[in-house]
Chains A and B, each alone.
Chain A
Amino acid sequence: MKRATTTIGRRRFLQAAGAAATLVLPFRLDAAPKAAKEAVAKPPAFEPNAFISIAPDGRITLVAHRSEMGQGIATTLAMVLCDELDAAWEQVKVVRAKGDAKYGSQNTVGDGSLLFGWEPLRNAAAAARQMLTAAAARAWSLPAKDLKTDAGHVLAPDGRKLSYGQLAAAAALETVPAKPVWKEVSAFKLIGRPTAGIDLWAQTTGTGIYGIDVQRPGMVYAVLSRAPLPTARLKSFDAKAVQALPGVLAVFPLESQVKPLAATSAAVAIVGRDSWTCLKAKRALPVDWDLGEHAGFGSAQVRALLDAAADQSGTVYRGSGDVAAARQQAKTVLKRRFRTPFLSHATLEPPVCVADVGRDRCEVWAPTQNPGEARMAIAEELRLPVSQVTVNVTMIGGGFGRKSLHDFILEAVRVSRKVGKPVKLFWTREDDLQCGYYMSPSVQDLEVGLGADGKPLFWRHHSVHSSWDATADGKPAVPELSWGELAGAVATLGFPVEHSQVSGTQVELPLRRSWMRGVQAFFHSFASNCMFDEAAAAGGHDPVALRLELLGPPRRVQQFPTRLSTDYWYDTGRMAKVIERAAALADWKAPLPAGKGRGLAVHVQSFSYIAMVAEVSTRPDGSFTVDRMVCVVDCGIVVNPDGARAQVEGSILYGLSCCLYGEISMADGRVVEGNFHDYPVARIGDTPQMTIEFVESRRTPTGLGEPCVPLVAPAVVNALASAGAGRRYELPLRGLRAA
């Protein structure tokens, strides 16, 4: 058996890398004796920590503390607990945690749930298992080391056994081990077994309760007539025009507020007896907005601002050698400008929250990715002690980063406080696309010099976009991009170049920004993978062969100064392995008929290594189809192979939406796109054949929700180039496709 390793290195690294990651060990060391003391009437449940409860009748309850939004994390986290506890999966009950600091960070973003959950959850379960074993050892007067655990029982060598339920009361009196001992990886029974999600029944019978489905006694409904821009001010509205409509209960303005993770624009709230009443009144309500300096703002201005910033030198975040000198020596220099637009998450369940604000308490039901911080934001808003605020996490109809923000929760809280009733405040699709938070648009300027051998001599990457830090800090603007926002450009470089420079420029734009699945790696990976492909072709090299050659022998490379364990340095061997395997699965070397093409993209994100090959068919009319996607992933131990596969499948479709269709544009100081007719997303007909494989591994699991998204667009664009359809430098590829 091996002892749990320390987490310090990883945590420090992620802070350095700009990830929103604070690991708090959610161990409640004092919980067991306290629980034992408090229970009088009935025998106490064994609750050695916040995650596990074993009742004397044998019921085992495991708590999933991160938000489940389709990524399967509730199932995955519970599997980790269950396997380390040696309970029987069929017998455990998995419940969603409410927002509570005792779980540590519950902010379900940035691929962190398993990465940061693995160690505390295994510690929590291993501690419980050891305490149950110790209790059995005491009962039998046998040494604990001679006992085994399996399927919710402690087993003696002579065949006697006691269930965890039978041992619960006695185990609660045992000391919580300071350093719980983990199972060997080879002893996992559940981890590694394809396991159905815990919500399957609810999801296929219409019985699951999402945020939008919550109903409370006496509840009323609300929608907002929203300012077109965060900076817009309410000039006037005519409440009389709708107040007399049957079912309309109240019409009143809400001021804009800038708060961390929760900036809300000005609005007019319409409260009514049902959703339809609110929607009708919203349509009928005349509201006049003052757009101020942005009255004429449109996509041309967005482009001009980005271009102007790209033409400046920017802040240098990382560099090596002497790019200027290398430029003189280079035989060929390629300079390319890549562009990506504003994007909307477009979760199918729009933002929604039910809030019930009382005089000295507040309870909300919300599809939130971030319940712990939401609870604190509500407490601050209402000036209540945190203990008086309850945040129930519902099923979530898609998150993708949008629902880690608290704006929609605070809106519901404000309206409920004002009307003194429980309120369901929901966003329409138009609200979501036109008045929400957005992935920043970007310009990526790449410059690559090739030596006489046709290989990169220098590599310069200048990233221009809007920072997400303004959203996180609640400031209206920040001076420059944070180091973490450039990490994507650094990581995707993925090979040593003697002379290199990564620089960035922050551009202030009038829409609110948010992280979105794939984050900045979406545009960084697009640009660097496309640039690499073009540079390889210009130098007369096959991109797979050149990638592998430049990676060199297997070794770990420190990409930037960090105190991180070498386990998390860039591993050229792992990268090479996924590339080789993807190339083999895609028959990379087999010739293709005319009009077809293959394209490679590679990427490291959240410590996972991925290679993707796209296969496309082009037609003489300029249209094309994405026929097949091959994806090979090394994300350490795969806890739930079926769920992991689903994440890759979903990432490919999410990436295709961005690649083929996604674009939020602006005109006259407003967002143009209003619904799925003009903000199209991938549909069933866009689905390629998918070949997905995971590298077998015994390493700590790393991220999987996001890292496959940024490879899709560059793989497709490179495949189009190889098919003879020319190189593309701007997303989306709308217009290239047959209708």
Chain B
Amino acid sequence: MKFQLKINGKPQVVDADGDMPLLWLLRDRLALTGTKFGCGAGLCGACTVHLDGEPVRSCITPLASIGPRAITTIEGLSPDGRHPVQRAWREQCVPQCGYCQSGQIMSTVALLRKSPQPTPEAVREALAGHICRCGTYGRIETAVQLAARYATEKAKS
């Protein structure tokens, strides 16, 4: 089946099975490997991307369900890799192995868009679906608040 998709701002026509999860299209066909496979069942958050700015688990999102919604992956988050959330992640040295962090970052970006100054409880709720086996959660909590500050400063300037 042919699908017209908009991925990281670019229109793309792809020919694939409608039941193929977006994750595998991104990784295997389009070489956008920043989005990770962790569980294949929407349980770990490593595959999180945005559809029209909403975080979704790409491992359980069939191509046929996407429609006209714009897809954003970690690669498309910022042209220069300097999105406030990415900067905050580096400032706090969040990643250990780093495997889950694309997903954590994508969910954080979506959270801050809706809630520019989230409470600690809101952060925990927004990221509850993400697993980090290295245990970087404490730094993630700090980095989210730092990213909120960066974003606010940017908006003011």
Q: Which A residues fall within an 8 A CB radius of B?
A: 69-72, 196-197, 199-210, 212-213, 215, 221, 246, 274-276, 279-280, 346-350, 395-400, 426, 428-429, 642-643, 646, 649-654, 657, 675-677, 681-687, 690
Q: Which of A203, A210, A347, A649 gathers the greatest number of chain B CB atoms within 10 Å?
A: A203
Interface residues on B, range: 35 or more
Can you give 17 contacting A-B residue pairs, CB < 8 Å?
A203-B101, A204-B86, A204-B95, A206-B74, A206-B75, A210-B33, A274-B24, A274-B29, A346-B133, A395-B97, A398-B99, A649-B135, A651-B135, A654-B133, A683-B130, A684-B127, A685-B128
A152 to chain B, nearest CB (A): 25
Q: Say whether, besides A200-B93, A684-B137, A676 and B99 are in contact (CB < 8 Å).
A: no
A201 to chain B, nearest CB (A): 7
Given contacts A348-B132, A651-B135, A657-B133, 14 further A-B contacts (CB under 8 A): A203-B101, A204-B86, A205-B75, A246-B17, A397-B97, A428-B40, A646-B93, A646-B139, A649-B138, A650-B134, A682-B137, A684-B127, A685-B124, A687-B137
A71 to B34, CA, bound (A): 20
A657 to B131, CA, bound (A): 11
Q: Say whether, besides A200-B93, A204-B81, A429-B41, A652 and B35 are in contact (CB < 8 Å).
A: no
Q: Say whether, besides A197-B93, A204-B90, A348 and B131 are in contact (CB < 8 Å).
A: yes
Q: Say whether, besides A70-B97, A199-B95, A206 and B34 are in contact (CB < 8 Å).
A: yes
A323 to B24, CA, bound (A): 62
With a CB–CB cut-off of 8 A, which chain A residues contact B141? 684, 687
A212 near B36 (CB under 8 angstroms)?
yes
Q: Say whether, besides A213-B33, A684-B127, A276 and B105 are in contact (CB < 8 Å).
A: no
A-contact bits for B6-34, CB 8 A (1 contact / 0 none): 00000000000101110010011101111
Partner of B101, one of A196, A204, A276, A686: A204
Residue of A nearest to B89 (CB): A204
Q: Which of B24, B75, B99, B140 gathers the greatest number of chain A CB atoms within 10 Å?
A: B99
Q: Which of A426, A650, A652 gathers the greatest number of chain B CB atoms within 10 Å?
A: A650
Q: Say whether, besides A276-B17, A348-B132, A70 and B44 are in contact (CB < 8 Å).
A: no
A233 to B37, CA, bound (A): 30
With a CB–CB cut-off of 8 A, which chain B residues contact A643? 93
A71 to B136, CA, bound (A): 12
Residue of B nearest to A209 (CB): B33
Q: Say whether, besides A212-B36, A687-B141, A275 and B136 are in contact (CB < 8 Å).
A: no
Q: Say whether, besides A221-B28, A275-B24, A684-B140, A650 and B81 are in contact (CB < 8 Å).
A: no
A657 to B39, CA, bound (A): 17
The 6 closest A-B pairs by CB, nearest first: A206-B34, A653-B135, A70-B97, A397-B99, A203-B98, A206-B74
A199 near B34 (CB under 8 angstroms)?
no
A681 near B131 (CB under 8 angstroms)?
yes
A650 near B100 (CB under 8 angstroms)?
no
Q: Say whether, besides A213-B33, A274-B29, A347 and B95 are in contact (CB < 8 Å).
A: no
Residue of B nearest to A68 (CB): B97
A205 to B89, CA, bound (A): 10
A368 to chain B, nearest CB (A): 14
A201 to B101, CA, bound (A): 12
Q: Is B46 an interface residue (CB 8 A)?
A: yes
Q: Is B145 an interface residue (CB 8 A)?
A: no
Partner of A206, one of B29, B73, B128, B137: B73
By secondary structure, the B interface counts as loop
Q: Is B70 an interface residue (CB 8 A)?
A: no
Q: Which B residues fall within an 8 A CB radius of A?
A: 17, 19-21, 24, 27-29, 31-41, 43-44, 46, 73-75, 81, 86, 89-90, 93-102, 105, 123-124, 127-128, 130-141
Q: Say whether, besides A213-B33, A654-B135, A676-B43, A205 and B86 are in contact (CB < 8 Å).
A: yes
Q: Say whether, besides A205-B75, A207-B34, A651-B135, A349 and B99 are in contact (CB < 8 Å).
A: yes
A210 to B137, CA, bound (A): 21
A210 near B99 (CB under 8 angstroms)?
yes
Residue of A nearest to B105 (CB): A204
A24 to B131, CA, bound (A): 38
A391 to chain B, nearest CB (A): 19
A280 to B134, CA, bound (A): 30
Q: Say whether, besides A348-B97, A687-B141, A205 and B131 are in contact (CB < 8 Å).
A: no
A684 near B128 (CB under 8 angstroms)?
yes
With a CB–CB cut-off of 8 A, which chain A residues contact B32? 206
B98 near A208 (CB under 8 angstroms)?
yes
With a CB–CB cut-off of 8 A, which chain A residues contact B135? 649-654, 682, 687
A221 to B28, CA, bound (A): 9
A454 to B79, CA, bound (A): 68
B144 to chain A, nearest CB (A): 10
A69 to B17, CA, bound (A): 35
With a CB–CB cut-off of 8 A, which chain A residues contact B24? 274-276
With a CB–CB cut-off of 8 A, which chain A residues contact B89? 200, 203-204
With a CB–CB cut-off of 8 A, which chain A residues contact B123? 684
A201 to B137, CA, bound (A): 19
A712 to chain B, nearest CB (A): 11
B138 near A201 (CB under 8 angstroms)?
no
With a CB–CB cut-off of 8 A, which chain A residues contact B139? 646, 649
A149 to chain B, nearest CB (A): 29
A206 near B35 (CB under 8 angstroms)?
yes
B75 near A275 (CB under 8 angstroms)?
no
A399 to B36, CA, bound (A): 16
B128 near A683 (CB under 8 angstroms)?
yes
With a CB–CB cut-off of 8 A, which chain B residues contact A657? 133
Q: Say whether, besides A203-B101, A204-B101, A347 and B128 are in contact (CB < 8 Å).
A: no
With a CB–CB cut-off of 8 A, which chain A residues contact B40? 279, 428-429, 675
A676 near B33 (CB under 8 angstroms)?
no
A399 to B97, CA, bound (A): 9
A396 to B24, CA, bound (A): 20
Residue of A nearest to B97 (CB): A70
B84 to chain A, nearest CB (A): 12
A396 to B133, CA, bound (A): 12
Q: Which of A349, A399, A682 gathers the greatest number of chain B CB atoms within 10 Å?
A: A349
Q: Which of B32, B75, B90, B137 gathers the greatest number of chain A CB atoms within 10 Å?
A: B137
A201 near B90 (CB under 8 angstroms)?
yes
A690 to B141, CA, bound (A): 13
A676 to B39, CA, bound (A): 7
A613 to chain B, nearest CB (A): 17
B99 to chain A, nearest CB (A): 3
Partner of B131, one of A71, A215, A654, A676: A676
A657 to B75, CA, bound (A): 31
Residue of A nearest to B90 (CB): A200
A215 near B31 (CB under 8 angstroms)?
yes
Partner of A197, one of B86, B95, B130: B95
B35 near A70 (CB under 8 angstroms)?
no
With a CB–CB cut-off of 8 A, which chain B residues contact A210? 33, 36, 99
A675 to chain B, nearest CB (A): 5
A731 to B102, CA, bound (A): 32
Q: Say whether, besides A70-B134, A275-B24, A348-B46, A684 and B124 are in contact (CB < 8 Å).
A: yes
A675 near B33 (CB under 8 angstroms)?
no
With a CB–CB cut-off of 8 A, which chain B residues contact A70? 95-99, 134
Residue of B nearest to A397 (CB): B99
A395 near B98 (CB under 8 angstroms)?
yes
With a CB–CB cut-off of 8 A, which chain B residues contact A348? 36, 38, 44, 46, 97, 99-100, 131-133
B133 near A347 (CB under 8 angstroms)?
yes
B96 near A684 (CB under 8 angstroms)?
no
A217 to B51, CA, bound (A): 30
B98 near A202 (CB under 8 angstroms)?
yes
With a CB–CB cut-off of 8 A, which chain A residues contact B41? 429, 675-677
B38 to chain A, nearest CB (A): 5
A196 near B93 (CB under 8 angstroms)?
yes
Q: Say whether, besides A205-B34, A212-B36, A684-B140, A396 and B43 are in contact (CB < 8 Å).
A: no
